[in-house]
Structure 1
């Protein structure tokens, strides 16, 4: 098999020279055979680099050569000899021998080209492959006859290489050199003086090859000549030059070309044999010639009479695409931050294909749909760059496959996969799993109770994704929210700081901030609303009838009352809410022939049958007001009822209702005082009303004469807005007084005509019946004098009752 590696090295050299024109480049020249540790040059100084930069950039050498002849001393910033350099082993017969290497630095990535020329020293003498050659020359050979000699070999080049030949003795022959098209020289021994076999049948000559080095070196070969009888015709090749081509992967034994020579002599002098001479070093051992019909390069034909002729055979070795591209990763980074801008160099690679022409043309590409691009920076050098925005949360790692294919048929390719990790930056704020939260807590809770948990996630990594929860400063009814709730910084659990009372606060809201651990930190807020749920912790409260230790109030029911007659109404409220505030009313221990019943929902006490003579005049009803909570709470109110058609009829029974039998002798005085106070208030109110009316009349006249528009004002109507459904109507309060000045009582007025019985045992038997107003007073109606007077009387009476 043939191999074109030597030609491939020439291509590599040309590529590196082109690279030096675009990147940082320096050149050195040193002789071969220098000892280890010899300083070639100061890399740091010549490239203008600081020694600290060499260390931080992890400077290293990259070269295509199989052996490492040079090394970089980062501590001193110098390039030194690592192994002894033999120029002949490294470059052979090339006139220019260089070592091409690159200095690779990272963070940021840099590449500098260095060329080291290896100068030849005269350390190889010329030598001949054969120490002795034999010639059989007829004595009839004519002057000028040529005899081809094997060339000497000198591994040195230039002035140190082979320069000349010397033949001794020179009685019959001289040496002549003939330049060839490939730059080599054929050595010919030319007959100057005819031979005389009878005088000398055997001749011994010494051919010396000399180089031009200092000191000069040489090599010798002995030439033995046997003088034969005349053979006057030499073989003649049919062509002076033969050309042929062969593929480099041709199998052994393939016939390259057939050369043909003829000899006009007969017999043994006309029998032709073929041999090869002057094979170049890179072809030595690759070809052989068939002595009957052979080949290759310089071919010598001789007959048995020792007459010779020569021709040249040129064999072109045709390249076959038998080498895959070689990918060398010069430098790479294993991780890059996700905020890296487009154009950042990730990796630098070198591509080499030792084939030639199309078989050596290489194209490289990477896999699709990744934010990277492969850019050709030079003939054989590629840079892998970022080509878009990176997002670790989308792709935390990229496996980038670089594939290089040549243009041969069939195409050969190779690939390498680079793993690149994307480092996280804090570019994502925590996100709550809900836009807002709503939680419930039952009142009367214990402090420290866990109410609810807020949860936020951060798509970043590690510390950037560590979420802490913070309660934002705010206030609830003027009180800091931190006195109501607290938030666990790690878990987001919201705890109650205090015990809540639904009757004081029904709901409140606050903000919780989720903050990550990045630098600077990112955060987001969410609103949390806490709804306090009611418990049945309040019992019903009776508003009417009022249960006090003062004067006694009784409801009077005539004996002629029809079934369903409304006696009174028990009014109660419950400050709880919902079903905890739904009230129901019932009588306690109702008799078998009960005369009254109470409305389960409205608390109205009505008669359920006609009054009979057997019914007691005095009725004492115990009404239980109960809410609908679990467990339920209740309150009891006592309602006194008198069954009679007139006041004298019940006088004898009335005394049983009193709580105190003492009489006040000064009652008349207090009554007179109360009337005086009422009269004074009445006169004062009349004066104020008249003054207000006169003032309004004057104002209206002024507005009338000023032609200004008059905008009437209507006071708003008032309504119950408590929303507890336990006070659906507006009630008027009536003040009732008794003969006992230390006791008083009040009741709610009703919309219809209701009888209120006011009893005074100490009086002379007179009883008063106060008929309630048929129409309730409204803020939108104008006052009249009688209404005002009546109101003042009631106020004064109430004041009197309260005083005593």
Structure 2
């Protein structure tokens, strides 16, 4: 369907306005988003005459704006899951400006989720080994399905195929995750039935719903008949962000009434935990102590829920699970960030002063005075910063460039934040700008030296046998790449068929046997040409004298 305007907010203060639209993801290119002229109550002709411009921003690639009509359209595929993950709301922003008077418009487009992803299990099948004396009510976690959609379109429920021994329990976590568990409701008997085959279906809440299945094979074994038991079903802890590595989070305690290896417990982080969480926390398998082993950042996550399992050493092993909820307390620890929202790593050497090289966005995730930033570059470079508006700068060329003088620049953006700390937090970002060559240098002949008659005259004997080498024209070009690829051409000669010039090496050779009727002196006009567009060239005239003495330069 067509996108619809969900809200319209006009703020006349500071000559700015904000419009909000909402569209579903995955619209085709050219799909209508909104009409800024209509929604602002502005005449289209007036809008076009005011030089409507799209300000460079990280989200401008997804939309195009007809500056004559004010119509905003989708210009690139929008995948909500790729943009915002599983955040409940997803927004893209577009900044527009007009002149005379200068006014800014901030377009906020909410991207609505569509049910374009089914829930998917990590694999098509899973195998469990459960011993026949497992206690009724024992739980066996199954790897959950993942659905990148959000809201009702994401994973909602699981269904277990009909069977005599197991029921399904779905464990809901505080972050909205749903984890399936098989619950043993009727005792197993390996001698009666050694294998059970079940099918677990994950289903989302879309209309129509999407689903996927995983086959579960359960092998019933004999042996160890008591699983470990934690002294509480869940644990809680609170840490400040940036806690030192090795900080103790909590010490778990589980017991097993079995003896020997069947009662020997090992602790580990459950496979339900993300790879990122396992980089932050570690558990001692012997003591059950959970400690910090990575960086805790309040701005990244305010709470962590760690799933822990305790396994005994019996055969087969038995396990129990518990949750540890870790709350993170914020401290002032954020240095300013530099984000290149638009950057060209190469720049033509004929770029005029004032050419925009990059658009830089600076931000500090702290708030208030702690989040104020300033940005500058070294005054020794041929670049300058122009502040476009709060938190955005443009990097411009300040002088003419010459690749033959300097072929590349390392530009460092120094960002300072006045955050009340002592000293203030700072950051810097280095970018490499390569100067692209223009064909502004003609080839130069190094040999023979032009202007000296003796240097451009060469003698050969009448008995010289082809293809004897007479001399070689050597030239160089200060440009690079194709602009420095040289070729040599014999464009004029007293006898065009008597001599040849190698196209790439510049070697001049006699092409045939000399005749008594041949002239005793021959002028050769050799042109050295580069491969630029347009090409530049240099010419040199050589004189070849036919004498009885052998060739000498």
TM-score, normalised via structure 2 length = 0.54
Deviations 1:592-629 (A, max 9, x none): xxxxxxxxxxxxxxxxxxxxxxxxxxxxxxxxxxxxxx
Instruction: Give the counterpart of 1:301 among 310, 333, 358.
Output: 310
Bigger relative contact order, structure 1 or 2 (CA pairs below 8 A, ≥6 apart)? 2
Indicate the residue corresponding to 1:314 in structure 2. Answer: 325
Q: In structure 1, what is the equivalent of residue 93 of structure 2?
A: 100
The corresponding residue for 1:42 is 35
* Contact 2:59 2:92 (C-alpha < 8 Å) held by counterparts: no
Which position in structure 1 is the counterpart of 2:227?
Answer: 234
Distance in 1 between residues matched to 2:133 and 2:320, nearest whole Å: 17
* Structure with the higher fraction of residues in helix conformation: 1
Cα distance change, pair 95–127 in 1 and its aligned pair in 2 (3 A): same
Work out whether residues 246 and 315 of structure 1, in 8 Å CA contact, stay in contact via their aligned partners in 2: no
Q: Say whether 1:324 aligns with 2:336.
A: yes
Cα deviation, residue 80, structure 1: 1.2
Aligned mates of 1:221, 1:288 — CA distance in 2: 30
What is residue 272 of structure 2 aligned with on the other side? 278
Question: Which residue is 1:355 aligned to?
Answer: 365
CA gap of 1:402–1:222, structure 2 versus 1, over 3 A, is closer
Mark the CA change 1:262 to 1:200 in structure 2 (over 3 Å): closer, same or farther: same
User: How far 1:124 sits from its partner (Å)?
Assistant: 0.9
On the 8 A contact 1:244/1:313 being kept in 2, the answer is: no
Cα pair distance change 1:281/1:108, threshold 3 Å: farther
- Specify whether residues 291 and 127 from structure 1 end up closer, same or farther in structure 2 by C-alpha distance, changes over 3 A only: farther
Q: How far 1:229 moved relative to its partner?
A: 2.8
SS of 1:159's equivalent in the other structure is helix
Q: CA deviation at 1:410?
A: 4.5
- Which of 64, 69, 80 matches 2:62? 69
Distance 1:411 1:101 in 2: 32
In structure 2, do the counterparts of structure 1 residues 58 and 319 end up closer, same or farther at CA, with 3 Å as the change threshold?
Answer: farther
Equivalent runs, 1:488-499 vs 2, <5 Å: none
Matched, 1:79 2:72: yes
What are the Cα deviations for residues 702-746 of structure 1, in whole angstroms up to 9, with x where unaligned? xxxxxxxxxxxxxxxxxxxxxxxxxxxxxxxxxxxxxxxxxxxxx
Q: Which residue does 1:412 correspond to in 2?
A: 425
Residue 110 (structure 1) shift: 1.3
Match of 2:145 among 145, 149, 152: 152
Per-residue deviation, 1:351: 7.3
* Alignment CA distance shift 1:234-1:323 (3 Å): same
Question: Do the aligned residues in 2 keep the contact of 1:143 with 1:194 (CA within 8 Å)?
Answer: yes
How do residues 312-461 of structure 1 correspond to structure 2 at under 5 angstroms?
312-316=323-327, 321-326=333-338, 353=363, 355-356=365-366, 361-363=370-372, 404-407=417-420, 410-413=423-426
8 Å CA contact 2:139, 2:184 repeated in 1: yes
Q: Classify the secondary structure of the residue corresponding to 1:297.
A: strand
CA contact (8 A) 1:319 1:356 kept: no
Encode CA deviations 1:236-291: one digit per residue, 9 max, x unaligned.
2345224354746977x987665443322222322323241332587476666565
Compare CA radii of gyration and give the structure with the larger one.
Answer: 1
Shift of 1:157: 1.3
Q: Distance in 1 between matches of 2:56 and 2:322?
A: 43
Question: For structure 1, which segment, 207-216 or 296-305, has the greater mean C-alpha deviation from structure 2 after superposition?
Answer: 296-305
Quick one: distance in 2 between partners of 1:203 and 1:409?
A: 66
Determine if the alignment matches structure 1 residue 192 to structure 2 residue 164: no
* Other-structure match for 2:481: none
- Are 2:201 and 2:212, in contact at CA under 8 Å, matched by a contact in 1? yes
Residue 115 in structure 1 maps to residue 108 in structure 2: yes
Contact 1:160 1:213 in 2 (8 A): yes
Whose strand fraction is larger, Structure 1's or Structure 2's?
2
Separation in 2, partners of 1:294, 1:105: 61
- Contact 1:141–1:230 at 8 Å: present in 2 too? no
Whole-angstrom CA distance in 2 between matches of 1:34 and 1:281: 33
How far off is 1:181 after superposition?
3.0
* Contact residue 328 and residue 351 of structure 1 kept, 8 A: yes
What is the CA deviation profile of residues 626-681 of structure 1, one whole-angstrom value per residue up to 9, with x for unaligned ones? Answer: xxxxxxxxxxxxxxxxxxxxxxxxxxxxxxxxxxxxxxxxxxxxxxxxxxxxxxxx
Aligned twin of 1:180: 173
Q: What is the distance in 2 between the residues matched to 1:154 and 1:140?
A: 36
Structure 1 residues 219 and 415: alpha-carbon distance in aligned structure 2, compared to 1, 3 A threshold:
closer
Q: Residues 402 and 255 from structure 1, CA distance in 2 versus in 1: closer, same or farther, beyond 3 angstroms?
A: closer
Matched pairs, number = 352
Match in the other structure for 2:258: 265
Decide whether aligned partners of structure 1 residues 364 and 312 sit closer, same or farther in structure 2, where only a CA change above 3 A counts: same
Distance 2:265 2:423 in 1: 45
Unaligned runs of 5+ in 2: 1-7, 291-304, 343-358, 377-388, 394-413, 430-553
Any conservation in 2 of the 1:363–1:404 contact (CA below 8 Å)?
yes
Kindly provide the CA deviation profile for residues 296-340 of structure 1, in whole angstroms up to 9, marking residues without a partner as x: 71112222354322221234566673531559999xxxxxxxxxx
- The answer to whether the aligner puts 1:243 opposite 2:254 as a matched pair is no
The CA distance in 1 between the partners of 2:278 and 2:263, in whole Å, is 30
How large is the RMSD of aligned CA atoms in angstroms? Answer: 4.1
Alpha-carbon spacing, 1:329–1:298, altered in 2? closer, same or farther (3 Å): closer
